[in-house]
Amino acid sequence: MLLPEEVITALRERGEIWETAPGLIGLRGSARSLMETIAFSLAELANDETSDEWSVPSGISFATLERAQYFASFPQWLTAASHLSDDSSVLEAIAGSDSPGSSARAAMQKPDAALSPAVCYHTYERLAGQSVASPTLMTAEGVCWRHEGDRLAPLERGWAFRMREVVCIGTPVEVEEFRQRWMVRTEAFAESLGLSVETVQATDPFFAPTARGKAVLQRIKALKHELTVRFPDGRSLAIASFNNHERFFGEAFEISLESGEVAASACVAFGIERWLLAVVAANGVGSEDNATEFGWSPTTLDTIGAVLQ
Amino acid sequence: MTRETFTTEMVRWLNARVAPVDVTINADTPLFVRGLMDSIRVLELIAYTEQAIGFTIPDSRMRMDNFHTVARIADVFLREAGDAAA
């Protein structure tokens, strides 16, 4: 098992990864191919359980985030979507400025939308005020934005990153069964890729001042688990999370079941760049000569190839 | 503090502080159903328990099987408090 820094150094030397800004990366070559294959395999895994694949918007309104109490829970991550004024005199001044980037920054409009911080909020927004069959499942992959300050690191913790989610809306029993089932399925899938993983209880990094109370409730009720990989220096990294929201989103978005009761929900989320990092760290980065195959042994390639079809 | 005293006082406190008007909490009432506990009340419950037993409860002990009911809290944490004092 390699360290994340060793993986990044090797991929950077091969020109397969680059950063345009902290937390914003580009990929090409075998790293890109492997990530696409992993993303496809996670989609297949999700589609085994639901064929309702959504394409979600890349942004989300502040109104929806307010309804989801996002500003009370995770305001530290929010990345807004803004734009310039449509006033032609302002645009002309920017276009003619010696430093148009600075001029544009000063002229940005106050935002009413954010770049999506998670995929599943779109589900609750879309189903708001509706009565749904129980259970209702959907899946989607989207780019999520979470600004984590100086903790940003390539593949490990992106400002923007790809997330595959599967969401279940149903009774409390149904959503917890869904979550438990996915913990088992995901662990088996990870092990089939040569990953040594552990499913552990976890809490979300809620924003103070209500952080401890929310985290304690989450811990006592065992509402969140993460699938983690451990690197040689002892660091662990969550590559998937399994979350039971109880009736929080059902109440917030007035989603009910056909029985009339308020819907409960759960979601499972996969950080796709982290899966790429974990798979490469576990199996090796290879050399420049055989970079397209990561230098993996035929046995490793056969095993992984059978899973990542 | 005896188990009986701890239980009686915690039940009285919960009914005064937490219980909705149409609910009466007793020693065997599940505390984490029907929205009895929110993120503020759970901290108050833990603070109350920690003050009564005299030590801080580590995160690893924050489990449903330890906090399910007042009777369970008494069974788990009063015994630990007794062990610590012994």
Query: What distance in Å separates the CA atoms of residue A188 and residue A182, rounded to the nearest whole number?
Result: 10
pLDDT at A161: 98
pLDDT at B66: 94
pLDDT at B83: 65
Query: What distance in Å separates the CA atoms of residue A118 and residue A65, rounded to the nearest whole number?
Result: 10
Task: Give contacts of B30 with chain A, Cβ < 8 Å.
Answer: none
Distance between first and last Cα of chain A: 23
Q: What is the 3-state secondary structure (H, E, C) of A2-18?
A: CCHHHHHHHHHHCCCEE
User: Which of B31, B60, B62 to mutate to probe the A interface, most A CBs <10 Å?
Assistant: B62
User: Residue B27: phi, psi to the nearest 5?
Assistant: -65, -20
Query: What distance in Å separates the CA atoms of residue A183 and residue A168, rounded to the nearest whole number?
Result: 14
pLDDT at A293: 61
ipTM summary value: 0.83
Question: For residue range B6-22, what is the model confidence (pLDDT) as tens digits?
Answer: 999 999 999 998 888 88
pLDDT at B57: 93
CA–CA min distance B70, chain A (Å)? 14
Query: What distance in Å separates the CA atoms of residue A49 and residue A33, rounded to the nearest whole number?
Result: 25
Q: What is the 3-state secondary structure (H, E, C) of A241-255?
A: EEEEEECHHHHHCCC
CB count within 10 Å of CB A82 equals: 13
pLDDT at A210: 77
Segment B72-79 shows an average pLDDT of 92
pLDDT at A186: 98
pLDDT at B84: 59
- Pairing mode, if any, of strands A131-132 and A256-257? parallel
- Please return the burial class of A51, using the count of CB atoms within 10 Å of its CB with bins 0-12, 13-18 and 19+: exposed
pLDDT at A219: 93
Taken as a whole, chain B contains a residue count of 86
Q: What is the pTM of this model?
A: 0.90
pLDDT at A292: 55
A214 interfaces chain B, CB cutoff of 8 Å: yes
Question: For residue range B31-53, what is the model confidence (pLDDT) as tens digits?
Answer: 998 778 888 899 999 999 999 99
State whether B39 and A219 contact (CB < 8 Å): no
pLDDT at A308: 67
Segment B48-66 shows an average pLDDT of 91
Q: Strands (DSSP E) along chain A, which ranges?
A: 17-21, 24-27, 53-54, 59-61, 80-81, 113-115, 131-132, 136-145, 160-170, 197-201, 224-230, 236-246, 256-257, 264-271
pLDDT at A289: 55
Flag residues of chain A having pLDDT under 50: 291
